[in-house]
A = this chain, B = another copy of it.
Amino acid sequence: MPLPETEAPGRLQAALTSRGLRLTRQRRTILGVVETAKQHLDATQILRHARRLDPGIDRVTVYRTLKLLKRYGLVDELDLMHMQGEKHFYERRPTRDHIHMACLRCGKIIEFESDLFERLKGQIERDCHFHIVISRLEVGGYCAGCRSNSRE
């Protein structure tokens, strides 16, 4: 089942200004790219997309903006099990955490929400007296499609 797609567009932008940060043309562009991306993008892909909208934009600005957004908890950084080298991928911080499943055969990334995951985080907080700010669960393996294909 697919996750609820894009919420109010511009949510990240509002979050930025409410924190007293400047909403520059470049940040607006980069935010737009991350917010509307159909898949998870790495820094180079984000740069490429951003340049289509604003050709002058610099790679450094992308890195600086991503770092900022990460620091303020507006985007999450993922590894996706490092299937394509050691890049990092970015996505808008969801309202509810989800799990990333990476198929080691076809490379597809599947997202999944789970109450059990929420309960697990609750257990960690209670049992370890640890206050969770951010969490990331990634699994690698074989998706339904690849499992049936491999039986052929």
Contacts and interface: CB of A to CB of B under 8 A. Distances in A.
Interface of A: 77, 79, 81-82, 86, 88, 99, 101, 103-104, 110, 112, 114, 116-117, 119-121, 123-124, 127-144, 147
A96 to B, nearest CB: 15
A128 B110 contact: yes
Contact of A130 (B130, B137, B144): B144
A132 B102 CA distance: 9
A141 B131 contact: yes
Contacts of A124: 99, 101, 112, 114, 139
20 contacts: A81-B134, A81-B136, A86-B88, A110-B128, A110-B130, A116-B116, A120-B120, A128-B143, A128-B144, A130-B139, A130-B142, A130-B143, A130-B144, A132-B140, A132-B141, A133-B142, A134-B141, A135-B137, A135-B140, A137-B137
